[in-house]
Structure formats: C-alpha cells, structure tokens
Copies of this chain bind each other. A is one copy, B any other.
Amino acid sequence: MEDKILAMVDATLDESIAELCEFLRIPSVSARSQHREDMIRTARWLKEKLDQLGMETYIYHTPGHPVVFASLCPYSERPTLLIYGHYDVQPEDPLGEWETPPFEPSIRNGLIYARGATDDKGQLFTWIKALEVVKNVTGSIPLNVKVLIEGEEEIGSPNLHAFLLEHKERLFANAVAISDGSKYSRDIPAITYGLRGLSYLEIEVTGPRIDLHSGSYGGVVRNPINALVQLLAKLTDDKGRITIPGFYDDVLPLEPWEREEMARLALNESELRAYLGVDALFGEEGYSALERKTARPTFDINGIWGGYQGEGAKTVIPSKAGAKLSMRLVPNQSAKRIDALVSDFLTKNAPSGVKVSVKPLHGTDPVIVPRNLPEIEAAQKAIHKGFGRSPVFIREGGSIPVVSTIKEVLGINSILLLGWGDPDDGPHGPNEHFAIENLRNGTKSAAILLEELAQLQVGQ
C-alpha cells in the first residue's frame, strides 16, 4: 500500500503544482488591511479543498482574519492527528527586488517562486494533498484527522489563543503536525525539537512638533533620528551581545549533548558566506554559527525610518523617527518578560528633549519538544520513506507562535515539527520559493505518516 501511495504522489505531481499555484495567487497578506477580502477568498479556497475530502469544514470569523477548521473523526479506537498550518503570508516588500511578481507563481529550475511558496502555503498544501492521496489510494483516511489553518501567523496570531481556548474540546488530539520550517539542508531532512521565540517591538521617537530646517535649528534641538540611533546603539555591544541588563537571565544553557550534535552537524561557514554574499559571518562570541542561529537569542532592527529618504539632499531635522526591533528568544526566556525589559530600558534611557514610546507588536515564547515519543519515531520512518534518508534532530532559529500556544492551551505534548522547505527558500524576503522536490517528498512523508500514526495505540 505504501508503494501505491508514493506512486500516486508522483503521478499527481503536475496537478498538485497547478493547485498550489492557484493557492499562491491569492495575495493573503495579513499585515495589510487592504487584503481583508483576499484573506476571506483564501479561507474559502481551503474550505472547498477540505470539503472535497469529505471533512466537516468550518470558517470561523475572528476579530481579525478567519480560521479554517475541518474534522473527520470516525474512529473511536484510533489516534487523532491535528494538522496546523497558516494561509497568511508576509508583506511582499521590497517589491522591486522580485524577479517575477510575488503573487504570480513562476517556476524556474524546479523551484516555485511566489510569496508564501514555502511559508507556509506550499508546506501546508502537502498535508491537504497527502490526505487526498491516501484517501484515493486506500479508500479512506486511516485515523482521526483535524485540520486547523489560521490567517494571522505572520502578525503574531493575535486571535488564536482565544480561538483555541473556546474550541479546546473540539481540538483535542493525540499529536499535532506542523510543516512550517525547513530541513537541515537541501539534502538532509530534519525533525525540529526546538524553536526560538520572538519579542517584536516598535519604537517611536518624537522631537520637535514640526520638521525643522537643520540650518536654522541645528544645535538647539535634539534630532529624533540622532536620538533613536544613540538609543538603539545602547542595546548591543560591538561583539553582538545584548547589553540590556537581565536579558540573558532566563536563558537555558545548551546541554553538552546538544553542543556535540551541533558540532557534528556544523554549518559549512564558507558556503554560508558565499550564499549570503558577505565576507564575514557575525554573532555572539563563544558560540558556533549553528548555535547562534538556532539556540542563542539575537537582536535585529527589522526596519528604521525618519526624515528625508528621497533623491538628493534635504537639510531637515524631522519631527519623528521610528524603528521596528525584534529579539529572537530561547528557552526559558519569556516574550512578555523581554517585552517589558526592553520597553523599560528604552523609555528609561530616553534622551532629554525627545519622547520615546514603545509598543509591543508581537510575542512568542520559545519551545522545546520531547524527543522520545512513538509519534516522533513514526515521523522518522515516514520521512525516511518520503525523502530517502533519515532526518536529523535540530533546533530552528525561527518562531512558530502557535506551537507554544498549542502546548499551553490544548496540552498536547507530542508536537511534530516537520519542515519541508530548504534553508535558502527565502521566506519573508523577495523571490521566496519552494522546491518541487520538497513538495513531492513532503507530500510523500505526510501521507506515509498518516499511515504510520494510524497504527499507534491511543494513549501511548
């Protein structure tokens, strides 16, 4: 039966690509209010796919973008799998750097280019396809399945916590599967057991009530951009360490076995430099690149603005300047505690003559998942069949906010983080893409996993 499933994935690949492209064409940018209608169209598109699988499907409206939920639970003695994904995507900027338009999928060299191709539409789609293939090949889906697809992952899932809480009973499952990340490398698939968290803030510095001529007022007024720059420079030292007092207090040191495994996996730094186009990597001293990228906290300014950004020279002292800042967090840091720590630091260090306001935009706690579970073993087998080699165990540098929410609210411990993307898919940037081979092998792995999980005893 497994061979038939694998063959069917191959046989229907062209059709899968065409369907995925349809999904990618809808510009479901959750951060921008002008896309509200597109979000609803995307939810309806998904509902229709899930309807076709014979599932009971629902679109739940929230104060933000809708949640798509589907359920098919005919077995009282078999386990229940909850599949999570998100249909929203990041904003498409900088638009000028896309080689083809972000919402017109384009296939080049075996890669599907589009915003959301890897994050998360392409990866989510493997699960929908896997359910369809298994059903078509075997006549039925062999375990209880629930599908939960939200539309607000890229803006911090502001309504998911309440949704999970409200529908807690209906969302009960023995395990959760999430494909919203990447393999260890193009050739090595992976199961992720750790995720970084995120604290994302916006700062605004306000100086004079109006923009001023720097000739007339330079020397008597604090320039908000100068002040912002001075203030932000205080957050890190020259060696990439965050200097906010207390920032590292809750950081769990890496276990010796983790450092050993990471040393064994070690990133090829010269390849990474070449890929990134930089002459040197950079990060906190005392940790390897792989450790810094997955298991150490970081500080990045994700956006900055103020004054004149056009052509030529304008001698202005602007009234305002601002920036978006984020810290990647690691176990056991708490997003709320870091939000407060950083906000306090910034407002307490506000220079005279300007006002500093800080607004948390987005927070996610970091996660560690247990490794010794039968579901993890099943995933290992399935991935081996799908990708042709055993997965390694890794921590991932990104955040999947829903994971900590699911752990906390639904109390599900068995969380399968199965990223099908490549590390260089470029999610969030221009020319985001997803390899057709990963679409194929991810779908195969997901389909086999459905079969494998169906054989587990409930309650194991």
Contact = CB atoms under 8 A, between A and B. Distances in A.
Interface in A281-339: 281-284, 289, 292-294, 296, 298-319, 321, 323-324, 326, 328
A225 B309 contact: no
Given A219-B293, A292-B219, A428-B213, A307 B302 contact: yes
B226 A301 contact: yes
B278 A222 contact: yes
A213 B208 CA distance: 35
B276 A361 contact: no
A300 B32 contact: no
A207 interface: yes
Contacts of A222: 278, 280, 282
Contacts of A97: 210-211, 319
Interface in A379-420: 396-399
Interface in A142-170: 154-156
Among A155, A182, A278, A310, max chain B CB count under 10 A is at A278
Contact of A316 (B155, B277, B289, B302): B302
Contacts of A33: 311
Contacts of A353: 278-282
Interface stretch (A67-75, A124-132, A228-236, A450-458): A228-236
Contact of A305 (B93, B229, B309, B311): B309
- Assign chain A's interface to a size class: 35 or more
A87 B47 CA distance: 62
A423 interface: yes
A272 interface: yes
B430 A210 contact: yes
Contact of A307 (B182, B233, B304, B423): B304
Contacts of A216: 182, 293, 396-398, 423, 427
A310 B302 CA distance: 11
A183 interface: no
A106 interface: no
A108 to B, nearest CB: 16
A50 interface: no
B321 A304 contact: yes
A214 interface: yes
Interface of A: 30-33, 90-91, 93-94, 97, 119, 154-156, 182, 196, 198, 200, 202, 207-223, 225-226, 228-230, 232-233, 236, 238, 267, 272, 276-284, 289, 292-294, 296, 298-319, 321, 323-324, 326, 328, 351-354, 361-362, 396-399, 423, 426-431
Given A303-B309, A304-B321, A307-B324, 9 more contacts: A119-B213, A208-B277, A217-B397, A218-B328, A219-B293, A279-B352, A282-B353, A300-B317, A302-B317
- Going nearest first, the 9 A-B pairs with the smallest beta carbon separation are A215-B398, A209-B277, A233-B233, A31-B312, A211-B429, A219-B292, A303-B307, A222-B282, A303-B308
20 contacts: A31-B311, A32-B310, A93-B308, A97-B210, A97-B211, A200-B313, A210-B430, A211-B426, A216-B423, A218-B298, A219-B292, A219-B298, A220-B292, A222-B282, A232-B233, A279-B352, A280-B353, A304-B307, A313-B362, A316-B429
